A = this chain, B = another copy of it.
């Protein structure tokens, strides 16, 4: 049985490795920052997680998840995203309100509960932010996508997901009426101040990197991110 805290370590490790393309290992400082604890605390906890065969790690080395740790972490993500979907779809919560509550609900462990919820929601593939929900085996289809900041002037793309890490951002996105599946066109990019002008539903907005880096998109025509030549 994993504690609330251990689950948070595993979930964060999943986010920093499995969900970060090309990153397989992280350092103590980075993990500490993401968990809002001090590195000393992480050092201690790593000993415990290693004892339980959940992480690969040795003193002064890098941290990675074992298969077992990865599965456990994936299940926390699954619970989190299913609860977010429930709150959004059934209880009329908004985009930016679901995350905080899901942080608590995700730690209520019961396969019967989670699989029941999954069925009740008719096995959703994505949460309200557009992120894929791992299935009961912890499997996930890694999305094939870019961030909005990677799109060039004049190109159009379709929004497939938004990062759910900032309430500010989500509220702004909500305010300008942004929705998953919306089409965005890049009107202009200012190099010197990194502002981008985007067109959405015939309205123009000037946005900062904070905005463009938090939106995931695919090609408007073929649905691909990389290797598209439309």
Is A230 part of the contact surface with B, judged by Cβ < 8 Å?
Answer: no
Q: Is the CB of A113 within 8 A of B90?
A: no
Q: Is the CB of A91 within 8 A of B105?
A: no
CA distance A101 to B93 in the complex (A): 23
Q: Chain B residues near A90 (CB, 8 Å)?
A: 120
Chain A contacts with B in 76-118, Cβ cutoff 8 A: 87, 90-93, 97, 101, 104-105, 108, 110, 112-113, 116-117
Q: Is the CB of A101 within 8 A of B91?
A: no
How many copies of this chain does the complex contain? 2
Majority SS at the chain A contact face: helix
CB distance from A159 to the nearest CB of B (A): 26
Partner of A91, one of B93, B108, B120: B120
CA distance A157 to B70 in the complex (A): 55
Task: Count residues on chain A whose CB falls below 8 Å from chain B CBs.
Answer: 17
Chain A contacts with B in 98-147, Cβ cutoff 8 A: 101, 104-105, 108, 110, 112-113, 116-117, 119-120
CB distance from A5 to the nearest CB of B (A): 13
Q: Across the two chains, which residue of chain B brings its CB closest to A119? A: B91
Q: Is the CB of B112 within 8 A of A97?
A: yes
Q: Chain B residues near A97 (CB, 8 Å)?
A: 112
Q: Is the CB of B101 within 8 A of A87?
A: no
Q: Chain B residues near A112 (CB, 8 Å)?
A: 93, 97
Between-chain CB contacts (< 8 Å), 19 pairs = A87-B113, A87-B116, A90-B120, A91-B113, A91-B116, A91-B117, A91-B119, A91-B120, A92-B116, A93-B112, A93-B116, A97-B112, A101-B108, A101-B110, A101-B113, A104-B108, A105-B105, A105-B108, A108-B108
A→B interface (CB under 8 Å): 87, 90-93, 97, 101, 104-105, 108, 110, 112-113, 116-117, 119-120
